[in-house]
């Protein structure tokens, strides 16, 4: 029941191991409401993680360095008054310059081309040789706001990663009262694929937080167990909890995995996790 790693996690791990591919296409979720804002935030956060790791500094310091700029992180944008990238634009010169020398400090130089769907075919063809024969450790990210395919010769040379839509739960914080039941209620509001009858025990728990309602819910089958596991783990990622409860949670997660391997009953596997959650609430 481990969660699928995000595009950012995949790229950061490959960066750390110096195994990034030369070219990536970063696409947003199909249903993104504000893709441009989503991409800007994603690029900022990813660059800050890279700076933090490479410089061994705090997140606040990494944010400041990103704002000031670093030679190994290049973010290219079209001219504000232009409908698309143009051959004469400074951004094109910036792209060519970024690909003319290797990284000076970091494991790799990262070049982000924002709104890459607005690159004309003429420019794309001019960039082909650079993208086909890149300098070592210079990595290009074509960040595409829309679902429109890029030039096929570019698409075929790139690894495509898709970002996940932001959940309204990412900015969730508990009100006074039973925190996990509030979180569970918000989780259901953000979308699910259960029938009304399948949610009876969850609604009972939200209205009267007793652990036996959750145990009854997971008796419904694998989908119910996966839903509850994801809700429990994502709650613990977001909740402010004392260190001793975090330590208890990690121990119970380890036991959960072992119990799953030995095919223990679902109620036995989940009870330890639920008991830690109850202490957080």
Predicted local distance difference test score (pLDDT) of residue 215: 95
Pairing type for strands 23-27 and 159-162 reads parallel
Residues ≥6 apart with Cβ < 8 Å to 154? 23, 25, 124, 127, 128, 131, 142
Q: Tell me, yes or no, whether 60 and 145 share the same domain.
A: yes
Inter-residue contact 155 to 39 (CB < 8 Å): no
Same domain, 55 and 152: yes
Q: What is the pLDDT of residue 241?
A: 78
Q: Are 67 and 51 in contact (CB under 8 A)?
A: no
Give the model's pLDDT for residue 153.
87
Q: Which domain holds residue 269?
A: 169-280
Residue 144 lies in a domain: yes
What is the Cα–Cα distance from 96 to 94, expressed in whole angstroms? 5
Which CATH number belongs to the domain containing residue 95 in this structure? Answer: 3.40.50.300
| DSSP state string for the chain | -PPPPPHHHHHHHHHHTT---SEEEEE--TT-SSHHHHHHHHHHHHHHHHHHHHHT--HHHHHHHHHH-BTTEEEE---TT-SS--TTSHHHHHHHHHTSS--SSSSSEEEEETTGGG--HHHHHHHHHHHHSPPTTEEEEEEESSS----HHHHTTSEEEEPPPPPGGGG----SS-HHHHHHHHHHHT-----GGGGHHHHHHHHS--HHHHHHHHTT-HHHHHHHHHHHHHHHHHS---HHHHHHHHHHHHHHHHHHHTT--HHHHHHHHHHHHHHH-
Residues 157 and 187 in one domain: no
Same domain, 28 and 162: yes
What's the CA gap between 18 and 103, in Å, rounded?
Answer: 12
Residue 1, in any domain of the structure: no
Alpha-carbon gap, residue 118 to 278, rounded angstroms: 51
> Quick one: pLDDT at residue 281?
65
* Any domain includes 216: yes
pLDDT at 20: 95
Q: Which of 140, 166, 192 is the last residue of a domain?
A: 166
Task: Specify whether 245 is located in the same domain as 215.
Answer: yes
User: What's the pLDDT at 234?
Assistant: 84
Q: pLDDT 10s digit of each residue in the chain, 281 long? A: 545 568 888 999 999 999 999 999 998 876 556 778 889 999 999 999 999 999 999 999 999 999 999 999 999 999 988 899 999 899 999 999 999 999 999 999 999 999 999 998 899 999 998 998 889 999 999 999 877 788 888 988 999 998 876 665 555 565 555 688 988 888 888 777 788 899 999 999 999 999 999 999 999 999 999 999 988 988 887 777 788 888 899 999 989 888 877 788 899 999 999 999 988 76
The verdict on residue 150 lying in a domain is: yes
Residues 137 and 233 reside in one and the same domain:
no
152 with 199, same domain: the answer is no
Q: From CA 90, how far away is CA 77, in angstroms rounded? A: 9
Cut 0.85: pTM above it: no
């Amino acid at each position: 029941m481990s969660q699928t790693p995000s595009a950012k996690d995949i790229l950061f791990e490959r960066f750390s191991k110096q195994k990034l591919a030369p070219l990536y296409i970063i696409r947003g979720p199909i249903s993104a409401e504000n893709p441009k804002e989503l991409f800007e935030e994603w690029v900022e956060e990813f660059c800050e993680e890279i700076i933090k790791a490479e410089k061994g500094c705090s997140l606040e310091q990494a944010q400041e360095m990103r704002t000031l700029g670093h030679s190994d992180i290049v973010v290219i944008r079209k001219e504000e008054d232009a409908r698309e990238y143009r051959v004469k634009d400074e951004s094109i010169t910036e792209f060519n310059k970024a690909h003319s020398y290797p990284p000076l400090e970091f494991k790799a130089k990262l070049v982000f081309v924002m709104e890459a769907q607005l690159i004309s075919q003429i420019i794309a063809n001019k960039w082909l040789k650079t993208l086909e024969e890149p300098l070592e450790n210079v990595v290009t990210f074509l960040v595409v706001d829309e679902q429109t395919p890029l030039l096929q010769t570019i698409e075929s040379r790139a690894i495509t990663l898709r970002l996940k839509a932001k959940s309204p739960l990412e900015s969730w914080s508990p009100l006074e009262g039973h925190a996990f039941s509030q979180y569970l209620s918000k989780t259901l509001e953000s979308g699910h694929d259960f029938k009304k009858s399948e949610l009876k025990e969850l609604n009972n728990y939200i209205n009267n937080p007793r652990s036996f309602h959750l145990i009854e819910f997971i008796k419904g089958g694998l989908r119910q167990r996966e839903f509850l596991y994801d809700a429990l783990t994502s709650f613990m990622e977001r909740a402010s909890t004392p260190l001793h409860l975090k330590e208890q949670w990690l121990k119970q997660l380890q036991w959960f995995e072992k119990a799953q391997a030995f095919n223990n009953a679902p109620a036995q596997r989940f009870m330890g996790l639920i008991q830690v959650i109850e202490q957080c609430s």
